[in-house]
Amino acid sequence: MTARHCSLPPQPAPAYPPGLAAERLGALIGGRRLWVNGTVLHYCFSGDTAGSEIAVPGTGRTRWVSWGGAEEQQDVVRECFEEWRGLGLGLTFTEVRDRTEAELRIGFQLGDGTWSAVGRDALRVGVHERTMNFGWDLTAPGERATALHQIGHALGMLHEHQSPYAGIHWDDEAVYAELAGPPNHWSRDRTYHNILRRLGPDEVNGSVWDPQSIMQYALPPGLILEPEQYHGGVYPPGTLSPADKEFVLRRYPPADPPRPPPLVPFRSVPLGLGPGEQADFRIDPPETRDYTVGTFGEADRVVVLFEERDGEPRFLAGHDDGGTAHNAAIAARLVKGRRYYVRVRLYSAWGPGETAVMCW
């Protein structure tokens, strides 16, 4: 019996100008889905008032379907956020009730498939739309893995069986036929996009295939021709594998130091970052006025400004200069007596000079 599978919609293609150096482009593709470390991801369950019109087959009519899930469904997802957080990530998760405050908006619309936006792609989704959906009962045996897997997508992870390092030689037609049948009923496009399509080397979670990963589908016998030992199928345990943990901890290391150094107006601070690394600063504005936080040097990076509210950093503004000739700059009104955090994550740098950050 085939498992029901998560089916990701095609991810929006990044619009980078042609002619970027391969190394620069690779760093952008690999880094653009990741959140800056230290982000508090707010999630909400869409609730009874949220929903969408669904076509009723053969009638030409639509009916209203709520996204809301029962408390016991929501509890499975809450526990799974807690399991990821418990690894000691530098990201945290907080449940909120107002969906306009939430980066992650989670629905439980049966029959709409199970899927999630990947990492920061969630920010491109309208605030009244879901970024994640569960299309079947999460309280059934083994379905906890489904929630862990979707949160993996929300953290920026893609499917492990699509790793170019897997070296999987698929029986393509067997895969199409299997997924076209119950319970998935997928089109060829959907099957290609979620299974057969190979990811680029910059998109994968790790440098070797991890068949134990939570991001690996369980697959029945007869779909994989090579490697031979997977003729009989792939049966991941449905838990976070050691490589899953290593990946997220490398991308989202525990916040250290807990108190980032100050960024003092008009004083430029060298960043000294390697690819994928991040530097954090705090700003305690000496006066209330409009400030600019800007970066210098030949690099691609994302800069995010947070304001501390109720002891928690809340997103205020961000600028991703990846793939452009510009440096990131954020203009914002900062209030004396409040605290702000600046987080800079580097995709890649080139050229002889240091990269730096300053506020003025």
Give me the residues paired with residue 201 across strands.
none
Name which of 310, 358, 312, 307 is nearest 335 in CA terms: 307
Sheet holding 356-359, edge to edge: 269-270, 356-359, 289-296, 329-334
Task: Output the smallest distance, CB 88 to Zn ion, in A.
Answer: 24
Which residue, 6 or 299, has its beta carbon nearer to Zn ion? 6
Q: What is the 3-class SS of 277-335, one letter each residue?
A: CEEEEEECCCCCEEEEEEEECCEEEEEEEEEEECCEEEEEEEEECCCCCCCCEEEEEEC
For the CB of residue 114, give the shortest distance to Zn ion in the complex, in Å: 8
| Per-position DSSP letters for 76-96, written without gaps between them | HHHHHHHHHHTTT-S-EEEE-
Does the footprint of Zn ion cover residue 41 (CB under 5 A)?
A: no
Asked whether position 157 contacts Zn ion by CB under 5 A, the answer is: no
According to the binding rule CB under 5 A, does residue 293 interact with Zn ion? Answer: no
CB of 68 to Zn ion, least distance (A): 23
Q: Which amino acid is at 308?
A: E
CA distance linking residue 47 with residue 63, whole number of Å: 17
Distance CA 101, CA 172 (A): 43
Q: Does 219 bind Zn ion (CB under 5 A)?
A: no
Q: Minimum distance from CB of 10 to Zn ion (Å)? A: 13
Nearer to Zn ion, 94 or 184 (CB): 184
- CB closer to Zn ion out of 6 and 283: 6
- Per CB under 5 A, contacts with Zn ion among 3-32 are 6
6 vs 199 by CB, closer to Zn ion: 6
Q: Which is nearer to Zn ion, 73 or 205 (CB)?
A: 205
Beta bridge partners of 45: 106
Binding segment toward Zn ion, per CB under 5 A, in 2-10, 176-184, 201-209, 306-314: 2-10
Q: Supply the minimum distance, in Å, between the C-beta of residue 149 and Zn ion.
A: 5
Contact segment (CB under 5 A) with Zn ion among 1-9, 10-18, 79-87, 224-232 equals 1-9
Q: What's 126's DSSP letter?
A: -
By CB under 5 A, is residue 76 in contact with Zn ion? Answer: no
151 binds Zn ion (CB under 5 A): no
Whole-number minimum distance, CB 13 to Zn ion, in Å? 19
Judged by CB, which is closer to Zn ion: 247, or 291? Answer: 247
Shortest Cβ distance from residue 334 to Zn ion (Å)?
40
Q: In what order do the strands lie in the sheet with 299-309?
A: 278-283, 340-349, 299-309, 312-320
Q: Which is nearer to Zn ion, 11 or 74 (by Cβ)?
A: 11
Residue ranges in the chain assigned as alpha helix (H): 22-31, 71-85, 144-154, 172-180, 188-191, 242-251
* Closest residue to Zn ion in the complex (CB): 6
Interface with Zn ion (CB under 5 A): 6
